[in-house]
Amino acid sequence: MPDQTFLDSTELVINMGPQHPSTHGVLRVILKLDGEKVLGTECIIGYLHRGVEKIAENRTYAQFNPYVDRMDYVAAVSNGLGYCLAVEKILNVEAPPRAQAVRVILTELNRIASHLLWLGTHALDIGAITPVFYCLREREEALKIFEKYCGARLTTHAFRIGGLLYETYDGFEQDIKEFCDMFLPRVDEYEELLTTNRIWVGRLKDVGILSADECKEYGVTGPVLRAAGVKWDVRKAQPYSGYDKYEFDIPTRQNGDTYDRYVVRMQEMRQSVRIMRQAVAAMPEGPIMGKVGKVIKPPVGEAYVSIEAPKGELGYYVVSDGSTQPYRCRVRPPSFVNLQALDRMIRGGLVADVVAVIGTLDIVLGEVDR
């Protein structure tokens, strides 16, 4: 005679452990399920915690620069830009216009590379296996440009405090123009594969809805916020590094579901190409390094500078006590704050949607855990 408890349908607790192909890193999610419906989730992070903020207190400002790339390792150039801007703020110097233009070009290329990897892995999680090959092929072209410019593909260490170290190589502008020309038809190709595909739409529409008010409550920024309808981008609201010179749109959508976030990111890639084209056309001549001494010793003070990383608002709060080492360098990671909203987004959905929602938040555990 089967036991009564055997037939009871109680809450099932499943561990989506740190080793999982879809969690984009070492993320542990404990799911409470009722059949296939998700009743609640709990995220456990910290598996990739390396103590970057503590390291910052024991290195000089210039020595900490390479460590910063390793947080959001998918889009390393943005991290470097944020850190350099923060230190330049407390030093009260500004990078010269040519350095700013090259920084903008590399940062936008970096945004495209990050979104390509996001698209590839997100599609792979949903089940579409072809986009990942094409996205990585394009990302390869972008990484080749990074390699030619600064010597490394992933952990680029491209910028220095005060400007740039490397002058652009011969053929830089040509390469960027070729990349832009090659890339736009490829984006059309991805859209052809996915945007109207009924399986794609069926899996992504109305999944993981996060309305604009909820986004603001949870402090979620980046494409997630823009897909919910809030037209806000740090590049337009508080421009840095010469972004106010370029014309670009901020794509927004209304629903705030996973499909909208996909559309927003595709549009962002197109806008990035637009910015890159403008920056290359209008690149000024001049020095590439600002007035920064050999030893960086900012006056006592603190500053918070944030940039629009591909994942959201990436902020650096640097406190200086007058010495050559930062007294405190706090990194405000967009993925960490966005991941808090996972519980709200997935509640009431199905198990298969958990993977879609984790993918659509575009988290990188290196940034979440630092």
Partner 1 sequence: MADEQTPGGSPTPPPEGGKPTAPPAKPAAPAKPAAHAAPPKPPATMVSTPWDSELARELKQRFGDRIGELSTYLGQNFIVAKPEAAISVLEYLKLEADFDYLVDITAVDWPKRAERFDLVYIVYSFARNERVRVKTYIADGYQPETAVNVHLTANWLEREVFDMFGIEFAGHPNMTRILLPEEWQGHPLRKDYGILQQDQIWVQENLGIESGQ
Partner 2 sequence: MVRLLKKIFLVDLFQGLWVTFRNQNPKYIYTEQYPAERPKVAERYRGAPRLNINPDNGETLCISCNLCALACPEALIVVTSMRNEETKRKELTTFTYDTSRCMFCGLCEDACPVDALELTQDFEMATYTRDGQIWDRQMLEEGPKPTQYKC
Under the rule (CB under 8 A), what is the footprint of partner 1?
45-46, 49, 51, 53-55, 57-63, 89-90, 92, 160-162, 165, 216-219, 230, 232, 237-238, 289, 291-297, 299-304, 306, 313, 315, 317, 319, 321-325, 327-328, 330, 332, 336-337, 339-340, 369-370
238 scored as a contact of partner 2 (CB under 8 A): no
Contact segment (CB under 8 A) with partner 2 among 3-11, 82-90, 152-160, 321-329 equals 152-160
Task: Identify which of residues 156 and 360 has a Cβ nearer to partner 2 in the complex.
Answer: 156
Name the binder of 327 from partner 1, partner 2, none, CB < 5-8 A by kind.
partner 1
Task: Identify which of residues 194 and 276 has a Cβ nearer to partner 2 in the complex.
Answer: 194
Nearest Cα to 249, choosing from 278, 283, 212, 274? 274
292 scored as a contact of partner 2 (CB under 8 A): no
The one-letter amino acid at 112: I
- Give the β-pairing of 163-164 and 159-160: antiparallel
Contact segment (CB under 8 A) with partner 2 among 133-141, 206-214, 285-293, 303-311 equals 133-141
CA atoms of 128 and 242, how far apart (whole Å): 38
Where in 61-80 is the site for partner 2 (CB under 8 A)?
Answer: 62-67, 70
Measured at the CA of 127, the angle between CA 121 and CA 133, to 5 degrees, comes to 50
Name the binder of 289 from partner 1, partner 2, none, CB < 5-8 A by kind.
partner 1
Contact segment (CB under 8 A) with partner 2 among 17-25, 117-125, 161-169, 266-274 equals 161-169
What residues contact residue 263 under an 8 Å CB cut-off, 6+ apart?
195, 227, 251, 253
C-alpha 143 chain-centroid distance: 16
Question: By CB neighbour count within 10 A (0-12 exposed, 13-18 middle, 19+ buried), where does 92 fall?
Answer: exposed
End-to-end CA distance of the chain: 54
Sheet containing 301-309: give its strands across. 301-309, 312-320, 328-332
Question: How far is residue 248 from each of residues 103, 127, 252, measured CA to CA in Å?
Answer: 17, 33, 13
Contact indicator for 211, 257 with CB cutoff of 8 Å? no
4 scored as a contact of partner 2 (CB under 8 A): no
Name the binder of 22 from partner 1, partner 2, none, CB < 5-8 A by kind.
none
295 scored as a contact of partner 2 (CB under 8 A): no
CA atoms of 64 and 89, how far apart (whole Å): 16
110 scored as a contact of partner 2 (CB under 8 A): no
Measured at the CA of 214, the angle between CA 205 and CA 344, to 5 degrees, comes to 65
Task: Identify which of residues 149 and 243 has a Cβ nearer to partner 2 in the complex.
Answer: 149
Name the binder of 240 from partner 2, partner 1, none, CB < 5-8 A by kind.
none
Q: Which of 10, 196, 247, 293 binds partner 2 (CB under 8 A)?
A: 196
147 scored as a contact of partner 2 (CB under 8 A): yes
Helix (H, G, I), strand (E, B) or coil at 242: coil
Q: How far is the CB of 243 from partner 2 (least distance, A)?
A: 27
Cα-Cα-Cα-Cα dihedral sign, residues 344, 349, 354, 355 = negative
Contact segment (CB under 8 A) with partner 2 among 58-66, 113-121, 241-249, 256-264 equals 58-66
Contact segment (CB under 8 A) with partner 2 among 118-126, 146-154, 270-278, 346-354 equals 146-154
Q: How far is the CB of 182 from partner 1 (least distance, A)?
A: 32
Contact indicator for 318, 87 with CB cutoff of 8 Å? yes
C-alpha 234 chain-centroid distance: 13
C-alpha 187 chain-centroid distance: 19
C-alpha 354 chain-centroid distance: 20
Where in 264-283 is the site for partner 2 (CB under 8 A)?
Answer: none
Q: Which of 59, 177, 274, 347 binds partner 2 (CB under 8 A)?
A: 59
192 scored as a contact of partner 2 (CB under 8 A): yes
Q: Which residues bind partner 2 (CB under 8 A)?
A: 59, 62-67, 70, 130, 134, 137, 140, 144, 147-152, 155, 157, 165-166, 169, 189, 192-194, 196-199
